[in-house]
A and B are shown apart, each in its own frame.
Chain A
Amino acid sequence: MELNTKNIGWSVPEMAQKVAKDIQDGAYVNLGIGIPEMIADFIPEGREVIYHTENGLLGMGKVAEGGKEDPELVNAGKKYITAIPGAAYFHHADSFAMIRGGHIDICVLGAYQVSEEGDLANWSTGNPNDIPAVGGAMDLVAGVKTIYVITKHLTKTGVSKIVEECTYPLTGKNVVDRVYTNLAILDVKDKKLWVRELAPGVDAEYLKQNTDAKLNWA
């Protein structure tokens, strides 16, 4: 199905900006690999946010450039990064104690699917030919206080990623608190999806047509 979404909805940077606005001053935040990393560029002036990268650093700075790349200073995506003044290094068990112990305030992740009850599938498409790999995603969704998902609303072939029930293997059940897509911001509350905000050019009918899950309106 060919969808006319060209002039409708938010761009990816606009989605990242929407997430950034919801990150409070003083928050300890873990950003997933890929689109979530972009969020750091949009934190509003005057807010101080500390970034955790699960391979062992609190106080992750910007990506390292211009010959300052250090192979022993990387983020969870194995990109060369920098550390801010006031940063702390620690080993993996401590890092995941921060996660599992509920010390990290917000984690933002990508998704293959999110269900209306807040189930997340983002580690495997279930294809038996793929090499399975999970990383820290299951620990993050089980331990971090608030889980935000940032994702395109539809797959490249136009299928809704917001679903009644995930068909891909789960990363966690009832773990997602809010979803930021290019079409809308959706809250998961009491195992139901609530429309929080519509993107420009998107109305209730359009969102409904493009969502394979029941939507609720406050």
Chain B
Amino acid sequence: MINKIVKSATEAISSVFDGATVMISGFGEAGSPVELIHALVDQGAKDLTIVSNNAGSGHVGLAALIENRQVKKIICSFPRTQISVVFPELYQAGEIELELVPQGTLAERIRAAGAGIPAFYTPATVNTPLEEGKEVRVFNGRKFVMEEAIQADFALVKCLSSDKYGNLLYNKTARNFGPIMCMAAKATIVQAKQVVELGSINPELVVTPGIFVDRVIEVTNPADESKLVANNVKYHGIKY
């Protein structure tokens, strides 16, 4: 019997190991799986490589994970936000590694991994500092830079609804990296605002087919990250 629904975030996240590569969905707060990230803070796996568009805001979500010194390296396109304090401090102290990737290249490197494509060529970064050290090839008279797929051990993804097969629907621009991260990880862990009956999601409208999903928890009232940040909430995990 297939049932990907698990009872708690703690259970969903339990297999994350030290040194794992973990993708985290979201574009800023939109689509960021705050409850799953906090469960990972509680769980304590360290030396993680995080793949995410941004590097967290305030002291919650991804920023809390970084502040808890669980992240060795972050692969992202835009580590600055108006209210990012944790990442800049550690980066400037040389305590966290950054691989800066253009946003579209980041998305395609993730998609490629999920689609079994080890590398591809893109026109982005040609003749810029970000092409340094990369193979450049000419196709039809134009230069392209080779970029390699990013495979992850785990993906933490937020969505709107899931059935027990893991078929997913998303909400508006919170979709962003969710569908491609689900494809690119060996184990995909999802938090859904609602778990629905099989058959209640129109098969024509399924965004992420369940084959890309391993575990789902229901988080009916997910935290509003911007409110937590505005109220200067600090998440230190349950062990404190």
Contacts and interface: CB of A to CB of B under 8 A. Distances in A.
Contacts of B180: 91-93
A83 B173 CA distance: 10
A95 B107 contact: yes
Interface in A62-104: 70-75, 78, 83, 89-93, 95-96, 99-100
Interface band, chain A: 35 or more
A154 to B, nearest CB: 25
A110 interface: no
A70 B30 CA distance: 9
Nearest to A99: B104
Contacts of A71: 29-30, 224-226
Given A96-B108, A138-B102, A142-B122, A131 B79 contact: yes
Interface in B108-161: 108, 110-111, 122-130
Interface stretch (A19-27, A166-174, A182-190, A193-201): A166-174
A133 interface: yes
B78 interface: yes
A96 B104 contact: yes
Could you say which of B31, B104, B106, B226 has the most chain A C-beta atoms within 10 Å of its C-beta?
Answer: B104
B175 A91 contact: yes
A201 B21 CA distance: 58
A55 B173 contact: yes
Contacts of A73: 30, 172-173
A56 interface: yes
Given A93-B110, A143-B124, A169 B129 contact: yes
A125 B176 CA distance: 28
B123 A78 contact: no
30 contacts: A53-B173, A55-B173, A56-B27, A71-B29, A72-B31, A74-B30, A89-B175, A91-B107, A91-B176, A91-B178, A91-B179, A92-B104, A92-B107, A92-B177, A92-B180, A93-B108, A93-B180, A99-B104, A100-B124, A131-B80, A131-B98, A133-B78, A134-B100, A135-B78, A138-B125, A139-B102, A142-B125, A143-B104, A169-B129, A171-B128
